[in-house]
Every structure is written in C-alpha cells, then in structure tokens.
Structure 1
C-alpha cells in the first residue's frame, strides 16, 4: 500500500520503517518541523518530505493517510485536511474514538492502535505487538486488517469504548509503573546506591504478576498487604523531604489494603 504519514515522532519513527520492511511505500512524511521528518524519510525508500500545512492543503495520492501525531493534534489535522473524497484517514491513538472523524463526512475514518511503548533507539518486535483496528465501513476495515496483518501476527478488531479502557489499563501498567521506577531510582541515588540492585526484584515482580491467577492482586507482597505498621511509618518518615512521594506512598498503601479487603470479602 501507499502510505501518507503525518508525524515524525516516536510512533511514526517506529512505524514507518516497519511499514517499509513489510513492503509498503511511505510516499511522504509530513511534519510541522522538517528536521525530524527529513531524518525519518532518509531511512525510507522513495519517500518525500512535506511541510504539514502543504500536505494538508493538497495531500499526495495514498491508500492510507496515517496520523501518527499527538492525540490533541488529530482533530485539528482531520478538520484542516483537504482530503480526497473517500480517503482512508487513520489515527494511531488509544484514547481517541472513531467519532473524531465525524467532522469530515467524505472521509473514511479508521484506527490502527499499536499496544506498545515507543522510545528512540529501542527495537520493536512488531510481529508480537498487538494491533487493534476500527473503521467506519467494511472496506476500510478490510484494508486496515490487511495492513495490520502485514506488521503483526496479533491483530484484532476493537471498538472505541473497549480501546479506551485498554489504553487506560496500559497507562497504569506501563506509564505509571515507569514513573514509580523513576522514584525508586531517585531514592536509591540519594543513598548512593545503584539502581541495578533492584533489577532482579523488578524482573521477578513483573514475571510473577504476569503469571498470577486470577490477577496480580493474588501475589501482592510488601508491608502494605501485611499491615506492617512500624515499617509503613518508617517509610513515610523517610519520605518527609518528598511530600508528593509521601502522599503517593500513603495512597498506594491504602489502595493495596483496600484490594486485600475486597479479595477477602470484607
């Protein structure tokens, strides 16, 4: 397929090479800033670079126009584009509904949501990445299923409300977890301790949680679930210099204890 790509950030930079490797042609990369777009296009065969405004004013022919841009920018691009009648315009966001295309009745809207975290320099194993598809009509759905299937062996249809809940769960599992690891890194650094000390613990925690039945709650450990009051108090006192982290510690402790009470039917 011929793909018109809007965006040159993390998702676009991971997705474009995968599309090219799967045999598709990224005919253009459009971005508000040309530097990143030029760097991305240089890695792709026969791909031109366009300013975003020019690409929106006169989109070059493509089978799919892919909007790999921040969520807040998607409605703006959808509304500003002089899209050819019947154009298949697709966003990659987890939290945006298909209804975001309602302002353009001549456009066939679609979603291609990769359930993965993207960072520069990290290799993505695309065949293992779950890709979720939603589209406004059967033909668009078939096109996106074929496109997704060329990248991944884990492809499924998913409606907007379920995709929103999936994205919310992903934020808890990935983004919040990463933030908590950042807090742990900072606390160890304050004591001149290397973060690597936590690596075996973190790996075992994640592996155990992924294997747990019926849910990760079943394998919860630590002072909160044990109601170890002296340790909890010592920890909160040690966080006195970080009131935001201290409050977060207390909230997470309360949440863990509430989950245990619920599991015990109390």
Structure 2
C-alpha cells in the first residue's frame, strides 16, 4: 500500500483537474465575500468570514469538488488505457482504489489550506475587524479539518460510482445533492449531528459559542466512522469491470459439397 500511495503522489503532477479544485476554493471565498455586500445588518468580522466560508464549502462547493477530483483520478487509469498494464503486477484492484482514495484525502487537506489562504487574502482586501494570528490559526485548523471530514463523508459516493464506467460525473451530481441536503439537516441539531455532511461541522465545533448550536461529538464521530466502514466495504468488494471474460467466437464449419 505504501508503494501505491507513493506512486499515486508522483502521478498527481499530471492531473490538471487539481487546479479546478483550487479554482472552486477561490470561488467559495468569492461567493462569501460577495454576500458580505448585502445590507442585512450583519456585522462582518474575520471570524465570521471564516465561518461563512466553511458553510459555503460544506453545503455547496466542496462535496462536489472533491468528488469530481477523486472520480477523475480513479477513472484516469481506464481512460488512458493504463489499467490493464497495472493489473499485470501483483496488486489487487481494491488496493489500487484504496490507495487513490487515501491520496485524495491528502488533496482535501491541500484544498483546505488553499481555501484558508484565499480567506486570508480576502480579509487583507476588505479589512474586516477581528483579524489576528490566533484567528488565522483557528481558521486554518477548522477549514482544513472540515474539508477532510467532508471528504470522508462523500467517500461512499466516490467508491460506489467507481464501479460504474465513467460514473464520476454521476458521483458529482449525487455529491452536490448530498451536500446541499446539509442546509436542511442544519435546521435540526439532532439530525445535524447524525448527517455526515453537517457532522463534519460538529467535529470542528462550528459556531459552538452560540447557545442554539449544540454538537454531540460522540454522534458526529459515530457518523464519520460509519461512513468510513461503508466506504471500506464498498472498496473491498469492488471488482475490475475491464477484467471480464471475453467469450471467443466459435467458427462455423462450412460443410463440403459433393460426395
């Protein structure tokens, strides 16, 4: 597994779709900054800006973003016709998929750091109050952990659609609906603690200072562990569709004419 992970790390430099993920992180901060122009009486500070970025990442941007990248990374072996060469070495297909999923976990952390960098850049641009080194460190920890937990939340979708030929675009649609459902789950704290998308916010103690927001770390952790177990089960039972047996055509013998 270590060799698979190391090999996949080397492959990342040829995946331009990663820059699409960085662009989506920039878009998330841009949408948040645009919403700050609304005259709704909200007092904007840097901590509030970071919270709104986390909210946009959770419900609209990141589940779709990381599912797109992970699905592309997995499907690339088939589209480039390199999978049949990889399968000649003693490595199982589930191990290959598992290695790619671990690499995408590293990518989710990288995208979380990029999202934090864009948030700080936006703060320097508009100059909201409350900007400090402590606030930046807290934003870095919360945003990065949130993207990691969100990735864990969507891994069953990624693992399942990996079974379908060119199914990564289906996974993107499912992940978008799945993430958007977090907006409705957030209306009920019991459901928010169970629903994996919003449970990711609970694990980082999102807005825990608010008396109306009460997170149950135990339920949030159980939600994440359950999702991980489901993903592991899907990966372990995944078979390479391209290794299907090819049925040889039986040549028909033409009877000879005459005696």
Under a length normalisation based on structure 2, what TM-score does the superposition of the two structures give? 0.30
Hey, which of these two has a bigger chunk of strand by percent?
Answer: 1
Hey, which of these two has a bigger chunk of helix by percent?
Answer: 2
Specify which structure has the bigger relative contact order, considering alpha-carbon pairs within 8 angstroms and separated by 6 or more residues: 2
Under a length normalisation based on structure 1, what TM-score does the superposition of the two structures give? 0.29
